[in-house]
Amino acid sequence: MKKDKHAVLSILRNKILSGALNQGDRLAEIPTADMLGVSRTPVRIAFRALEQEGLLTKLPRRGYQVRKVTNEEIAGSVEVRGVLEGLAVRQIVEKGGGSAIIAELRLCLHEGDTLFAERTFDEEKIQTYVEINRRFHECLVKGSQNNAIVMALQINEHLPMASVNALVFNPEQPEREYERLYYAHQQHHAIVQAIAAGQGARAEALMKEHAQAALNSYEQIAASGLSKTIRTE
């Protein structure tokens, strides 16, 4: 199976989080590319992305090292994201909840509805979802009109699993993963409904619940020994 840069990133992220790649392991482009059966380019891109996500550390001379990450660190970074994004959605309501922001959010919801209507998920669809999800969360933060929130989230995104792009997906269980991500999409609907209704406190609470659900999903997948189910060929 041909793998693009997104698939390589997903496989390596899953291997790190599941323990297939241990803390302290050193990674280099050529051996990793050979292991996955890909060229060096998608591996190089994946390494940089994982460094940004706080899962790899760049070594002084060459290569990367799997960073030591604790469950407490992941839980803390995701909780902070929930608090910051919760504040963002509340401020959208408090500042009038511009119609342009709500329209952009609803466009993301519509695209997600179309994607989930197919009722199947593969690597290509998961990347489409990642892009829709990224735009949705960026729109919420932008809508707060609060640069302090933007800057705080940019710092927090360098911590493990804090970025909305750091999505773990098990390709061997597409039906279960479909249901998990569909639930997250329904949470998006509820958040937008609360914003449109002028319910700032409810929108904030839903946003925090959304982050907690993401953390719960990570913990379940990491505990399941995901490395045993990831195909690398």
Per residue in 126-140, pLDDT tens? 889 999 999 999 999
Query: Which one has a higher pLDDT value, 68 or 5?
Result: 68
Integer angstrom CA distances of residue 203 from 23, 42, 132, 195, 210: 37, 38, 19, 6, 10
Question: What tens digit of pLDDT does each residue of 3-60 get?
Answer: 567 788 888 988 887 778 888 999 999 999 999 999 999 999 999 999 988 899 999 9
CB-CB contact of 90 with 203 (8 Å): yes
Residue 154: other Cβ atoms inside 10 A: 11
Residues 134 and 52 in one domain: no
Are the beta carbons of 11 and 230 closer than 8 angstroms?
Answer: yes
- Rounded Cα–Cα distance for residues 134 and 126 (Å): 12
Of 78, 51, 23, the closest CA to residue 216 belongs to: 78
CA distance 125 to 131: 10
Nearest by Cα to 45 from 10, 2, 1: 10
Q: Are residues 173 and 77 in the same domain?
A: yes
Same domain, 112 and 150: yes
Helices 99-116, 174-196: axis angle to 10 degrees equals 160
Q: Which residues contact 105 (CB under 8 A, 6 or more apart)?
A: 136, 139, 140, 143, 188, 192, 195
Q: 103 falls in which pLDDT band (50, 70, 90)?
A: very high
CA-CA distance, 136 to 156, in Å (whole number)? 18
Domain boundary among 19, 51, 66: 66
DSSP code for 161: T
Q: Do 18 and 118 belong together in one domain? A: no
Residue span of the structural domain in which 112 resides: 71-229
Same domain for 42 and 89, yes or no, is: no
Residue 152 DSSP class: H
pLDDT tens by residue, 13-29? 888 877 788 889 999 99
Percent of the chain with pLDDT over 90: 56
* Per-residue confidence (pLDDT) for residue 231, from 0 to 100: 30
Same domain, 77 and 163: yes
> Which residues is 26 bridged to in the sheet?
65
Provide the CATH number for the domain around residue 21. 1.10.10.10
Domain's final residue, options 66, 101, 119: 66
Same domain, 111 and 188: yes
Do 39 and 95 share a domain, yes or no?
no
Asked if residue 174 has pLDDT above 80, the reply is no
Strands annotated E in 59-124? 64-66
If asked whether residues 21 and 135 sit together in one domain, one would say: no
Number of domains in the chain: 2
Residue pLDDT, tens place only, 115-173: 999 888 877 888 899 999 999 999 999 999 999 999 999 999 888 888 888 877 776 77
Asked whether residue 103 falls in the same domain as residue 197, the answer is yes
Q: Which of 15, 43, 66 is the last residue of a domain?
A: 66
Q: What is the CATH number of the domain that holds 75?
A: 1.20.120.530
Mean pLDDT of 179-208: 96
Same structural domain, 111 and 137: yes
Same domain for 157 and 130, yes or no, is yes
